[in-house]
Amino acid sequence: MEAIRAYTIDGAHSAWEDEFKGSIEPGKLADLVVLDRDPLTIPADDLKNVNAVITIVNGRISYRRDEA
């Protein structure tokens, strides 16, 4: 959780951008990634196998994993 916070709200705060970045709230920029599993509930050795399912930048889907 510490690493996730460092890359989100803490990073936005250190850049003086936490009013519009760093957390998912109405009125903030919608850049986020949806992962295929919860990185907080899996063994650390499995973190390398976590994959992005969808990436959203500026409120629009910029990446969607194909489900072939």
59: which 2 tokens?
């409120």
Q: β-pairing, 32-35 with 60-64?
A: unpaired
Q: What is the pTM of this model?
A: 0.74
Q: Tell me what pLDDT residue 68 has.
A: 43
The pLDDT tens digits along the chain (68 residues) read 898 899 899 999 999 999 999 998 998 887 889 999 999 999 999 999 999 999 999 889 999 998 64
Assign 3-class secondary structure to 24-37.
CCCCCCCCEEEECC
